[in-house]
Structure 1
Amino acid sequence: MDLTDLEIFARVVNAGSLSAAGREMGLSPAVVSKRLRKLEDRLGTRLIQRTTRQIALTEAGQGFYERVVAIMAAVGEAEAFVTRRSDRAEGLLRVSAPTSFGRMHVAPHLGPFLAAHPNLSVDLDLSDEFVDIVGEGFDVAIRIGELDDSSLVARRLADVHRVLCAAPGYLDRAGRPDGVAALARHVCLAARHQDPWRLEGPEGPVVVRASGPIATNSSEVVREAVIAGLGIALRSTWDVGAELSDGRLEIVLPAFRGSRRVAVHAVYPSRTFLPAKVRLFIDHLAVLYAEPYWDRGLEAVLSGGG
């Protein structure tokens, strides 16, 4: 049974006429009469006696009206309940994030977020693989990369600056490459999912196949290896900004950077009926990352790098 037909019936009774009910609902008297007749035909009984001047409920109509009023009140209460829940952050928020980024730039900011929303708890799952958000039941995922087209919704949170870098000790031993081609004579460090390197240089995009004695699925292993002086790596400033600032790492081939299409995104299943807990969490990160704090103090290093 169509709830709209029930609402029309109740409005006709309350307003005292078909035309008055139609004005309240933005419908013509003819449409109101047609919908009312459809309802009576479905029920197999007359609900309202109509005259040119007034209407009167039949005995069946009176009993039906009382029950329709109760139904419409229950529907209104149900809508209000859902609306209240959608405006309030509560329950469990399941978040997926890359291992290093989650540890360095998500976990430290959970305290203020949870303090602002005491009825909320967070399950933060760290992995360098792109998880199946819907299949594994995540509310939102933080992803870094060039996103493929999909049914998921993505909100760009921050640009990512990626530079080729190495420890000064390594460069003193192995020499400083004078061009992209020279990288073939160097130890290049990359996790499996980060190979090949897609660079942008003065003459456009360049693809470099990273090769070296270390194979790993962990971006954190690569980070520790490059700091330890084991080779050259393509790293994000959010990851090695401190080491670039204090000189433990230096930029190599500064005219070449990682693809500018790579960014930090919040990815979630649907834009429709986005739960408050997801919206508020994404907004929280968006404010933090709007002007990435991890790039503060690196202006001279990055500009000096060309």
Structure 2
Amino acid sequence: MWHSNLAVSNESGAMDWDKLRIFHAVADAGSLTHAGDVLHLSQSAVSRQIRALEDSLGTTLFHRHARGLILTEQGELLFEATSTMAKKLDTAAARIRDSEEEVFGELKVTTTTGFGTLWLAPRLVKLYERYPELKIDLMLEERVLDLPMREADVAIRMKEPSQADLIRKRLLNIRMCLYASPRYLARAGSPQRVEDMAGHRLICQNPVTPQVTAGAELAQRILAQEIHSTLTVNNYFGVLQGVLNDIGVGILPDYLTADFPDLVRVLPSVESGEVPVFLAYPEELRQSRRVTAFRDFVQEEIMAYRRLQAGAPAGGDMV
């Protein structure tokens, strides 16, 4: 929105929209040259507009040195304001585009690495078949992104979001359980008591790795059995690969049983507490066709998961 190729406005020195747009690009890039490339303007034109803006405000916005530009305290204040403006403009543009009949354009989705790689990503082909012009930016990380500030449009998190002005829906409850491959158990035997885990290799996330608290607590409980050999990975995708390749007994979320039916539940009475899974998005995107399409798709997939699990013993309860 801000980086469109607009003509540079008048030379009067007034703090107009175009000068703010150019200032924002320079502050974001930290360089007149890089900002000029983004804006399709010459370096001299960008520099002229910045100086005109500084003159109109009666202050210096950048410290200039050989390695680039650094914002002054006044520049930081203005950049904070233009960043907020840019996000609001992006939101307005998204809402305008969403008034169209078709579902298309970019949708920024964030969730954890485990849920994103193991459950969500394999199912997205169905969403693309329905909406082939949709562009999904899937951001997988444990850090909770700021939805009201539009770091993402939709989030699926392993706890109820605490941010205000969010629409949230509880999708399901999951538990972390112990699983192994049939080949591993045929070779190493099946533990009958939690104390028997001392004779097995445990595959889990390191308890200090950012993760759901229930998973970390279960890992600490098992590690207390004086496990002699471990494989720790910083996400559940890696844990699953270790289990599938017969390395040991792994701590994994129970939603994997639908897609990996050959996994064998080890010590069925040993599991974590319930972990709620929530879908959330900003109130201002309530009418977004892309968000609605994604939300409905996820809910349909949850229902399909529920039907698949019906009649089979499950580690966690669906809601």
TM-score under structure 1 normalisation?
0.55
Assess if the C-alpha contact under 8 Å between 1:161 and 1:237 holds in 2.
Answer: yes
Change (3 A) 1:239 1:150: same
In structure 2, C-alpha distance between the alignment counterparts of 1:92 and 1:199, rounded to whole Å: 34
* Structure 1 segment 34-183 matched on structure 2, within 5 A: 87-88=99-100, 89-114=103-128, 116-117=130-131, 120-125=134-139, 127-134=140-147, 137-143=151-157, 145-147=158-160, 149-151=162-164, 152-183=166-197
Distance 1:298 1:199, change over 3 A: farther
SS in 2 for 1:101: helix
Choose the corresponding residue for 2:236, options 202, 208, 219. Answer: 219
> Which ranges of structure 2 fall in alignment gaps of 5 or more residues?
1-92
Equivalent residue in structure 1 for 2:253, among 220, 225, 236? 236
* Displacement after TM superposition at 1:190 (Å): 0.9
Distance 1:149 1:184 in 2: 39
**Of 256, 259, 272, which residue of structure 1 is paired with 2:273?**
259
**Whole-Å separation in 2 of the counterparts to 1:215 and 1:115:** 37
Relative to structure 1, the CA distance from residue 254 to residue 290 in structure 2 (aligned partners, 3 Å threshold; closer, same or farther) is: same
Between the aligned partners of 1:154 and 1:191, the Cα distance in structure 2 is: 28
Change (3 A) 1:184 1:271: farther
Residue 264 of structure 1: how far off its partner (Å)? 3.2
Show CA shifts across 1:217-270 (max 9, x none): 132221111122222112234324454x34xx321111233322x1432132x2
Amino acid corresponding to residue 264 of structure 1 in structure 2: V
Q: Which has the larger radius of gyration?
A: 1
Distance of 1:218 and 1:140 partners within structure 2: 21
Distance 2:191 2:252 in 1: 17
Cα RMSD for the two superposed structures: 3.8
The residue type equivalent to 2:303 in the other structure is A
Q: Is the 8 A contact 2:109 2:154 kept in 1?
A: yes
Contact 1:158 1:291 survives alignment (8 Å): no
Using the TM superposition, give the Cα deviation of residue 155 of structure 1 relative to its aligned residue in structure 2, in angstroms: 1.6
For the residues of structure 2 that align with 1:282 and 1:296, how far apart are their CA atoms?
Answer: 20
| Number of residue-to-residue matches in the alignment | 211
> For the structure 1 residues 118 and 84, does the alpha-carbon distance in structure 2 shift closer, same or farther, using more than 3 Å as the test?
farther
- SS of equivalent to 1:215: strand
CA distance in 2, matches of 1:256, 1:298: 22
After TM superposition, which residue ranges in structure 1, 4 or more long, deviate above 6 angstroms?
81-84
Percentage of matched positions with identical amino acids: 26
